[in-house]
Chains A and B, each alone.
Chain A
Amino acid sequence: MTYMGVEPDRLHFSWISSAESTKFVEVVKEITDRVKALGPNTHFIKEQAKVA
């Protein structure tokens, strides 16, 4: 994905156990912060056909 030109900060991989609720919250916070910093995605979006 990053090779294609999608910003690396939009892609996150994490391994979280169902028992690691704190880690889950931390990771989600970090991801949302970093994606918000990038702003709206302009790549790899397909507009739906407009139906009247």
Chain B
Amino acid sequence: MVEYTEKIREIAAQLLKQCQVDMVIGFRRGSQVMMNEPCMVKRADAVDSLVWDSHCGINLANYITGRTEKIGIVAKGCDSRNIVTHIVENKIKRDQLVIIGVPCTGMIDKRKVAAMAGAEVLAVGEDGDKITIQTPQGEMFVDKIDVMQQNCSLCVHRNPVIHDFMVAEPVAEQTDIDRYADIRHIEEMSDSDRWNFFEDLLSPCIRCYACRNACPLCYCPTCFVDEAKPQWVDKGQDAIDIRSFHFLRAYHCAGRCTDCGACERACPVGINMRLLTRKLEKDCFAQWQWEAGMSESTRPALDVYRPDDPQDFIR
């Protein structure tokens, strides 16, 4: 995907020169390896800071909420679905956006790379499906599929759903993927096993709210956990409060989450909170055949009433 960089710069420069947009949101190299950071380019002569590779996992739709200027935005499959969600939820207007679509082949999980390297990672290079990891001990070669973020290996919408430009031809979508094997595994556990499973899963949480901040869906002016009047959830480290935060946050993302993986990626302690959002995603699909962010014209599943809505849970 590195070869997209030139094309992204070219389109961004053209948009800024012709004043079609006030800024372009994309990625630049971060201060650390494998940590590209979002950047807003406002001048055509600054487009050279834009890059694209397999470390652009952050969801850029997070940066367009409520903005009023004309924006060019670089969007991979999941970003584009979150942009659609933003449009549907009136957080931005479609005509404010120029979407530079990027066909994505998956993002690299920095934790998997670090675990494989077993030493300090100095640099990570890529050539198609091959990844080169440089450590003080030398070079390692791995297949990209082995170090990909889990949500990317399970992704079935790699190509942007809306775009004004495409930096390359669409890539082949992954088919025959069992997206919810791990969720089914949890569902099959007994009640107390499930309780303990989530107790273990969430025990390292330090409530830094990085997952919430990285999430493009979490744009409430005051989050329910920050509110003090009324205080919905206590602010301490009590396991029940941590659990309330994670489950409620997941619920707020029900029918909206695109499984972009930004939450898990942002988590400093590596909690896979996607096990919560994906359960809701799975249920939304099973009950209403709903996938978030696929169309600007369809109202979200939780926003419409249909006479045939499932209601077996009501007795």
Measuring CB to CB, which residues of chain A are less than 8 angstroms from any residue of chain B?
A: 2-8, 12-15, 27, 43-46
Question: Which of A3, A12, A13 sits near B279, CB closer than 8 Å?
Answer: A3
- CA gap between A11 and B194 in the complex, in Å: 16
B185 contacts partner chain A, Cβ-Cβ < 8 Å: no
B219 contacts partner chain A, Cβ-Cβ < 8 Å: no
B313 contacts partner chain A, Cβ-Cβ < 8 Å: yes
Which of B221-229, B236-244, B289-297 lines the interface with chain A?
B236-244
A5 touches B192 (CB 8 A): yes
Number of A-B contacts (CB under 8 A): 39
A4 touches B243 (CB 8 A): yes
B197 surroundings in chain A (CB, below 8 A): 5
* Nearest CB on A from B186, distance (A): 7
Question: Which of A4, A7, A12, A44 sits near B315, CB closer than 8 Å?
Answer: A12
Other 4 A-B pairs with CB < 8 A, given A5-B195, A5-B197: A3-B187, A4-B198, A14-B314, A14-B315
B314 touches A43 (CB 8 A): no
* Nearest CB on A from B264, distance (A): 18
- CA gap between A6 and B192 in the complex, in Å: 8
Number of B residues near A (Cβ < 8 Å) is 21
- CA gap between A44 and B38 in the complex, in Å: 38
A46 touches B241 (CB 8 A): yes
A5 touches B241 (CB 8 A): no
B49 surroundings in chain A (CB, below 8 A): none
- Bits for B304-315, please: 1 = Cβ < 8 Å to A, else 0: 000000000111
Question: Which of A3, A5, A46 sits near B196, CB closer than 8 Å?
Answer: A5
Would you list 24 pairs from A and B whose C-beta atoms are within 8 A, ordered by A residue?
A: A2-B191, A3-B186, A3-B187, A3-B194, A3-B279, A4-B243, A5-B191, A5-B192, A5-B194, A5-B196, A5-B197, A5-B198, A6-B191, A6-B195, A7-B191, A8-B191, A13-B314, A13-B315, A14-B314, A15-B314, A27-B315, A43-B195, A44-B240, A46-B238
B180 contacts partner chain A, Cβ-Cβ < 8 Å: no
- A11's closest neighbor in chain B, by CB? B313
* Nearest CB on A from B194, distance (A): 4
* Nearest CB on B from A20, distance (A): 13
A13 surroundings in chain B (CB, below 8 A): 313-315
Known: A13-B313, A13-B314. A45 touches B240 (CB 8 A): yes
B247 contacts partner chain A, Cβ-Cβ < 8 Å: yes
- CA gap between A35 and B243 in the complex, in Å: 23
